[in-house]
């Protein structure tokens, strides 16, 4: 069995002359990658393929400009030294700032319109994603931030998309698609993400001629209709399956941006039929983008 790889990678640089532009570009790239600064010209990252790629890319640029570069791998000499190196990557302050911004957003929801609220949440979520990418040693601060982000998303949904269903706890039974062709499908009016996406999926993959009823009250759902995305419906949320934007769950990077698009479309369209029509090409494009990425992968 080969010995374990060293724990750390160190980039040592000597840039030529007063090249402020190059220095700033290198510094920004390494900061975005989460590198720790030991001293001027010495940058540290936990060992790994991505870390080595980042350091070697910057080294290539430095050499091209006439500078000198060394990338070294090493282990700390003691537990105490290793702890000091790990401390360079503490993201507690970054998470605390994000939580403060989320708390401020929740406090202002009553006076915000939905598109603005969604845009602000999306901006914070993007920053949080950037922090988590460079959080090599996640701990309790990250859990607190994830909880705060979920709370903020739920607060927005409670304000602008109330009555979202609770996740059901049951087994998902296989269904025969032919039993759901030419049907009338019913869900709550004033569509939000899951209902719009579900209606798109129904027409795209299950029932191209589906008719939809947008219900003011779910108890008025006809027995002949196939209910979806409300408590007690034939099809609704199950455990933590793909419903982060409505009722919480595992965050995804694209979520806040899509929520902003959905909020804007909902503010522009006069009714749910028009909203579904407007969102269909958006969902078609999103699906095509993921399909292309999967084929290339």
pLDDT reported for residue 249:
46
* pLDDT tens for each residue of 72-94: 999 999 999 999 999 999 999 99
* pLDDT tens for each residue of 157-214: 888 876 666 666 667 788 899 999 999 999 999 998 889 999 999 999 999 999 999 9
CATH topology for 8-87 is Alpha-Beta Plaits (3.30.70)
Written in H, E and C, the secondary structure of 228-283 is ECCCCCCECCECCCCCHHHHCCCCCCCHHHHHHHHHHHHHHCCCHHHHHHHHHHHH
Task: Give the phi and the psi of residue 46 in degrees, each rounded to 5.
Answer: -60, 140
The owner of tokens 């009555």 is 163
Q: Residue 40: name the closest of 61, 60, 26 by CA.
A: 26
* pLDDT tens for each residue of 272-290: 999 999 999 999 999 998 8
Residue 242 has pLDDT above 90, yes or no: no
- In which band, very low, low, confident or very high, does the pLDDT at 232 lie, cut at 50, 70 and 90? confident
- Exposure on the CB side of residue 90, measured as CA atoms within 13 A: 8
Mean pLDDT of 208-232: 93
- Dist. CA 222–CA 209, nearest whole Å: 18
Whether residue 236 contacts residue 230, with contact meaning beta carbons closer than 8 Å, is answered with yes
Domain boundaries defined on the chain: 8-87, 92-160, 177-296
Instruction: Tell me how crowded residue 91 is: count the other CB atoms within 10 A of its CB.
Output: 20
Residue 145 has pLDDT above 60, yes or no: yes
**201-to-24, 176, 275 alpha-carbon distances in Å:** 47, 15, 15
Mean pLDDT of 141-155: 90
pLDDT > 90: what percent of the chain? 57
Q: Give the dihedral sign, CA 91/92/97/101.
A: positive
- Dist. CA 23–CA 292, nearest whole Å: 37
Task: Give the phi and the psi of residue 11 in degrees, each rounded to 5.
Answer: -100, 120
* pLDDT tens for each residue of 4-18: 778 999 999 988 777
């Amino acid at each position: 069995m080969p010995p374990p790889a060293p724990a750390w990678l160190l980039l040592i640089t000597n840039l030529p002359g007063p090249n402020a532009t190059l220095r700033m570009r290198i510094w920004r790239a390494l900061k975005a990658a989460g590198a720790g600064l030991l001293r001027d010209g010495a940058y540290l990252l936990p060992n790994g393929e991505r870390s080595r790629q980042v350091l070697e890319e910057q080294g290539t640029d430095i050499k091209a400009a006439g500078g000198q570069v060394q990338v070294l791998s090493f282990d700390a000499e003691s537990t105490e030294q290793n702890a000091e190196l790990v401390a360079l990557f503490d993201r507690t302050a970054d998470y605390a700032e994000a939580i403060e911004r989320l708390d401020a957003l929740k406090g202002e929801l009553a006076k915000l319109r939905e598109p603005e609220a969604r845009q602000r949440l999306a901006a914070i979520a993007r920053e949080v994603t950037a922090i988590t990418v460079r959080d090599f040693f996640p701990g309790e601060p990250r859990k607190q931030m994830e909880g705060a982000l979920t709370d903020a998303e739920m607060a927005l949904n409670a304000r602008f998309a109330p009555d979202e269903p609770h996740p059901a706890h049951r087994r998902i039974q296989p269904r025969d698609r032919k039993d759901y062709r030419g049907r009338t499908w019913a869900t709550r009016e004033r569509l939000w993400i899951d209902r719009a996406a579900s209606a798109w999926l129904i027409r795209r993959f299950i029932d191209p001629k589906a008719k939809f009823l947008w219900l003011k009250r779910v108890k008025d759902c006809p027995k002949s209709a196939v209910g979806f995305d409300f408590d007690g419906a034939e099809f609704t949320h199950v455990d933590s399956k793909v419903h982060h934007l409505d009722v919480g769950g595992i965050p995804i990077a694209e979520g806040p941006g899509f929520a902003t698009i959905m909020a804007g479309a909902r503010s522009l369209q006069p009714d749910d039929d028009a909203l579904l029509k407007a969102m269909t090409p958006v969902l078609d494009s999103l699906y095509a983008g993921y399909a292309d990425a999967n084929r290339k992968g």
